[in-house]
Structure 1
Amino acid sequence: MPALVKKLNSLVLYKTRPARIASLGEKIEIIERDGKKRNVRDKDVELLHPGPFNNFSELRPVKGDFNTAWELLAGEKTTLTELADLIFDEFTPASAWAAWELVAEGLYFSGSPQEIQVHTKNDVETALKNQQAKSDKKQAWAEFIERVKNHSLGPEDAGNMQEVEAVAFGKSETSKIMSDLGIQISREKAHELLLKTGLWDSAQNPYPRRFDLHKEPMRHPVPDVPDESRLDLTHLPAFAIDDAGSTDPDDAVSIEGSTIWVHIADAGALISPDSELDLEARAIGANLYLPEKVTTMLPIETTLKLGLGLQEVSPALSFGLQIDENGEISQLQIKPSCVKVTRLTYAEANEQLDSGPLAELWEVTQRYQKRRLAAGAININLPESKIRVIDGKVEITPLEELRSRELVTEAMLMTGEAAARFADENVIQIPFISQPPPDELITGSSWADKFACLKKMKRSETRTSPGRHSGLGLDFYTRVTSPLRRFTDLVVHQQIRAYILGKDQLTYEQVLERLAMADTVSANVRQCERQSNRHWTLVYLEKSLDWREKAIVVDQRGHRGQILIPALGTDASVHLEKTYPLNSEVEIEVSSLRFPELEMFFKVVD
């Protein structure tokens, strides 16, 4: 049979639609079924019938013997002309289009008008099975989506919902389930959907996974404390003062005449730079304190060997400071030491502040604090609380404002200042801590003043050169008193220890590299702690059906107010029906809780 050619009024296939050739030239003008005209290239259309084809009404259904033609040609190749003739006993525009529709279905035939593959019986049976499987899968998916929509999931649906959990945990930005439901794909919306469907309950804390802090770190063996020369300070009463329940005491204080001693767990004695333990601490960055669990930066064996007061005699790196009458650090000595430490809670220490060594320490630390305040230190003491989850129950305990806390804070600050000055004077590379001053300094001692002042404060900065810390009123400052809990403290500890013992120190570049890594990791730790504390506060309020408490109005703009809640140690939004003077005390109850957004709203009880 001679090859068919495109002519005026031929029936052609354009994409998947029939069309008629209206004119031939450099481009072909075609008319589609809807009357739309197009100028297309020759290769954009395939010839179905040479014509004449004048009207789309000709493409009416045609009766034919499909089964006989298929059985006759099964497994062979044919053309559209031959296929139409076999099925319909004629080759017309109508039969050509009807035959092509069978090819386009893809079940019995496939290919192009010029070369059509006729499928075998096995091919068709396999295709039918695949079609049925696809249909069943589509139906099952539709039924699953309906269950999600109706919040009526079954145990068999947990696997499908893992993609929503991945979004909620911040591990994915795509979800077919959420797309099919028309839900915005975000961590918060995924969290909300998981709560609504009952796959999660409100106690599910997603934040450790969001920050990749949920895995137990690999732990390395902890060596024994090396036998080395140490200053014997076991004759001095030394006190490690912490919150009740603390398990990692890494600092203690004592006094000897005019010298105040601050003893730091001697982490550098066990952990040298780039050792397995050092690399482990660098990767974790800091202890992660969550209400439901604590993940330590170092193996627990490290604390057992170095924690002050956990053994009868503890190894320490001791800072001996003399504070003059003006509160200035006049002398400093730093010694590896051994100390006998008594552990006290803040409450127990507070009862001993009026006599004995703690009374002397109180006097010295107050002199130091007075100097800091005179130098512009900003003292903001807002309500704080300790949140714990014990056997699934949330406990929130407001922290008392105790003088013993003040004593410990000042002792740690003077040690940080002394370490920073010592490092600067002796060109020891360490991370220094500074803080730019606020753009606007708000003075006043009321709750509203303190709250407003806190909002104006700028973030502290970690850097390799000293700079003023405006919040503390110090020109030199670093953190060195928690080497078991913070990696940057450990770096300072290692560097100072290496200097006083005449050993090799880390270079500027090595310290900078450690700071870059530690900043990122420790920032994640702090965010995870804050958001987890907020989460468990919401859980506590949800379970406390009759909860009512006092709050302090610290800001109001129209009907929207901001309050401090001492019982929770936090601030929150509240709807205020009237204007309240700042620092007014009001009674509040929960208005609504939004777990995905970590939002809690309250209303004033009349």
Structure 2
Amino acid sequence: MSRYQATPPVDSLVLYKTHPARVLGVGDKIEIQLDGGSTKRVRPKDIVLLHPGPLRSLGELTVAPEGAVDEAWELLEGEVTTLADLAELAFAEFTPASAWASWLLVAEGLRFRGTPERIEVQARAEVERERAEREAKAAAERDWKAFLERMRAAAPAPEDRPRLAEVERLALAQTERSRILEALGYPQTPEHAHRALVEVAYWPPNHNPHPARRGVSTKDAALAVPALDEDEPRLDLTHLEAFAIDDEGNEDPDDALSLEGDRIWVHIADVAALVGPDSPLDLEARTRGANLYLPERMVKMLPGETTTRLGLGLQPVSPALSFGFRCDAQGELYDIEVARSWVRVQRLTYGEVEGRLDQPPFDALRAAIGRFHARRQANGATRLALPEVNVRVEEGRVVIRPLPRLESRELVTDAMLMAGEAAARVCLEQNLAIPFATQVPPDPAEEATDLASMYARRRCFKPTRLLCEPDLHAGLGLALYTRATSPLRRYSDLLVHQQLRAWLTGARPLDREQVTERTAQAELGAVAARRGERLSNQHWKLVYLRDNPGWRGEGVVVAVEERKVVVLVPELALEARVRTRERPALNDTLRLAVANIDLPELSASFRVLG
């Protein structure tokens, strides 16, 4: 029987787990003494005999004997030996101290590996390979520790940027874990990753991660735009005055108004003339779903060249898809016509038109469109006059401008709704599959007349749905409606244009299944874009407040919760929850000051001024 399998005698040296131990007594269990003086009773199989002794004290092992380990390894290279033979060859004796020193060489696993009774002596090539791997690992660990120290000091080196891409992936919700954040003790969330990246200046303090976090592309499409067929038959409407009315600085004018006698014309950029179904441009627009409007920039769903060629008023004469109709005394549309056309468009701002509403042709447009507006209101259309603002980043500075309630804006909105109803009716009559915009009626509630009731009323409405089955749009007060006036900006509008173009040219339109599939795909992108826009606006509003710590303003109480109130800050169109000592009533006005801004968490806290 091997000496290493025998029952260890008293005062022998044994291995317990990875530690040396001295045998004090032998029975059903073996009593051992560990380093430090503590004792333990263990099973025979829990220990390995290294030397039969006598070992009077574990202190004898602390002084390693002198030896010739390298020479022993060179002599034994490639062979198999035992612990006793290794000790005698390396240290010229087999004692408890030399046995323990030899075992430490085996435990190191570089030149010797195995058990006390069978030790494999590694070949030189294997030792060199293993040593190189260990040195590389040790260097990597030193580098990792140095990197973490730089991160804790918020002083990363230039060479650390590639490594921080891991944290950025978490900050953009592209992964759920970051080894770096874990090592630094940060929670594994996009918000904390955002905070860490700003602290180490990987991201600038104002960095907006929200579009990318929602998977929305922030790069313009780089695709070729085909030439327009100049010989295509079109109705010449260039003799009519046509007005593209938008906010100042608008970059994608895709609709305009004309009046011909009592016939209203709504001209829409003829995007489908250049973007056919399943073309590269169509596939790109379908993936994106809609333009992305950010305070810092706009990202178009189609290449900018498309707007340059088709935007109404950007060229002396523009190709359009024009919707003509009349409006009777009850506000109903009749004598509807759809035509590919040429139009000559003048661009105006809402402010410019506001002062001309009593002048031709705006006075006549105002009267006819007003009848349509009255019909919608009678059918239950809801008008929520909640605060709206325009948020822009101009030369690195956040500028927030309230959007005034202008009659000219409502006029254009209603005209576009008229075109949407006209398009829906034509498509239904011609059996063209399109995405109808529908919305179920809200829960019964009184019409909103103040900020608190409008805030509550808005929460009663379900989101608009795009379905191939026509149905009511309760919020607009229209029994039939589709979105058709923004084909440069929304894919669902472009899809309607493609179907109408197929009908007008005698081509085969898409079937219901194709339209449903394309609508669903585009809505994924459009919903992500709208979410990215909303969060981006919130982000830049908070940047504005952070950069203006002395801000003071008013908040209107729109909801009362158990310990807080919900306020709307009209000048910022910002919703916040505020703690108050007293319990204010709905629509009460509170004077507010900024208490704290947490940009990564997208949160702002306010204090109520006396």
> What corresponds to 1:73 in structure 2?
73
The answer to whether the Cα contact below 8 Å between 1:202 and 1:539 also exists between their aligned partners in 2 is no
What's the CA shift for 1:4? Answer: 5.4
What are the residue-to-residue correspondences of 1:387-536 with 2, within 5 Å?
387-536=391-540
The answer to whether the Cα contact below 8 Å between 2:106 and 2:112 also exists between their aligned partners in 1 is yes
Q: For 2:387 and 2:69, locate their aligned partners in 1 and report how far apart those are by CA, in whole Å.
A: 87
Q: For 2:271 and 2:43, locate their aligned partners in 1 and report how far apart those are by CA, in whole Å.
A: 80
TM-score, normalised on structure 1?
Answer: 0.90
Q: For 1:501 and 1:15, locate their aligned partners in 2 and report how far apart those are by CA, in whole Å.
A: 85
> What corresponds to 1:149 in structure 2?
152
Letter in 1 for 2:5: K
SS at match of 1:302: helix
Q: For 1:149 and 1:107, locate their aligned partners in 2 and report how far apart those are by CA, in whole Å.
A: 35
Q: Which moved more, 1:162-171 or 1:550-559?
A: 550-559
SS at match of 1:517: helix
Q: Match for 1:605 among 603, 606, 609? A: 609
What's the CA shift for 1:503? Answer: 1.4
The percentage of aligned residue pairs carrying the same residue is 44
The answer to whether the Cα contact below 8 Å between 2:170 and 2:178 also exists between their aligned partners in 1 is yes
Query: Are residues 1:85 and 2:88 paired?
Result: yes
**What is the CA deviation profile of residues 112-164 of structure 1, one whole-angstrom value per residue up to 9, with x for unaligned ones?**
43443445788767766665554454344333323322334444443433322
Q: For 1:303 and 1:85, locate their aligned partners in 2 and report how far apart those are by CA, in whole Å.
A: 88
The answer to whether the Cα contact below 8 Å between 2:63 and 2:97 also exists between their aligned partners in 1 is no
TM-score, normalised on structure 2?
Answer: 0.89
What's the CA shift for 1:559? Answer: 4.7
Q: How many residues align?
A: 596
What are the residue-to-residue correspondences of 1:193-232 with 2, within 5 Å?
193-210=196-213, 211-232=215-236
What are the residue-to-residue correspondences of 1:19-168 with 2, within 5 Å?
35=40, 37=42, 48-49=49-50, 60-61=60-61, 67-74=67-74, 75-77=77-79, 78-87=81-90, 89=92, 91=94, 95-118=98-121, 131=134, 134-168=137-171
Q: For 2:218 and 2:299, locate their aligned partners in 1 and report how far apart those are by CA, in whole Å.
A: 9
Q: CA RMSD in A?
A: 3.0
SS at match of 2:151: helix
C-alpha change, 1:269 and 1:156, in structure 2 (3 Å) is closer
Letter in 2 for 1:521: G
Q: For 1:577 and 1:187, locate their aligned partners in 2 and report how far apart those are by CA, in whole Å.
A: 34
Q: For 2:91 and 2:367, locate their aligned partners in 1 and report how far apart those are by CA, in whole Å.
A: 110
C-alpha change, 1:56 and 1:483, in structure 2 (3 Å) is farther
**What is the CA deviation profile of residues 495-536 of structure 1, one whole-angstrom value per residue up to 9, with x for unaligned ones?**
022113321101122112211210111111111111111111
SS at match of 2:68: helix
SS at match of 2:163: coil
What's the CA shift for 1:586? Answer: 3.2
Q: Which moved more, 1:408-417 or 1:11-20?
A: 11-20
Q: Which moved more, 1:470-479 or 1:118-127?
A: 118-127
SS at match of 1:283: helix
C-alpha change, 1:496 and 1:66, in structure 2 (3 Å) is farther
Q: Match for 2:306 among 293, 302, 326? A: 302
Q: For 1:113 and 1:187, locate their aligned partners in 2 and report how far apart those are by CA, in whole Å.
A: 52
Q: For 2:520 and 2:15, locate their aligned partners in 1 and report how far apart those are by CA, in whole Å.
A: 63
C-alpha change, 1:469 and 1:181, in structure 2 (3 Å) is same
Q: For 1:158 and 1:92, locate their aligned partners in 2 and report how far apart those are by CA, in whole Å.
A: 55
Q: Match for 1:172 among 171, 175, 183? A: 175
SS at match of 1:577: coil
Query: Are residues 1:6 and 2:10 paired?
Result: no
What's the CA shift for 1:331? Answer: 3.0
C-alpha change, 1:171 and 1:498, in structure 2 (3 Å) is same
**Which structure 2 segments of 5+ residues have no match?**
none
C-alpha change, 1:471 and 1:65, in structure 2 (3 Å) is same
Q: Which moved more, 1:58-67 or 1:206-215?
A: 58-67
Q: For 2:371 and 2:56, locate their aligned partners in 1 and report how far apart those are by CA, in whole Å.
A: 100
What's the CA shift for 1:346? Answer: 0.6
Q: For 1:205 and 1:36, locate their aligned partners in 2 and report how far apart those are by CA, in whole Å.
A: 63
Q: For 1:30 and 1:355, locate their aligned partners in 2 and report how far apart those are by CA, in whole Å.
A: 109
Q: Match for 1:551 among 545, 552, 555? A: 555
> What corresponds to 2:281 in structure 1?
277
**What is the CA deviation profile of residues 213-240 of structure 1, one whole-angstrom value per residue up to 9, with x for unaligned ones?**
1233232233224422222222222111
Q: For 1:511 and 1:583, locate their aligned partners in 2 and report how far apart those are by CA, in whole Å.
A: 45
What's the CA shift for 1:35? Answer: 2.9
SS at match of 2:259: strand
Query: Are residues 1:318 and 2:322 paired?
Result: yes
Q: For 1:530 and 1:245, locate their aligned partners in 2 and report how far apart those are by CA, in whole Å.
A: 20
Q: Which moved more, 1:65-74 or 1:518-527?
A: 65-74
C-alpha change, 1:231 and 1:129, in structure 2 (3 Å) is closer
Letter in 1 for 2:250: S
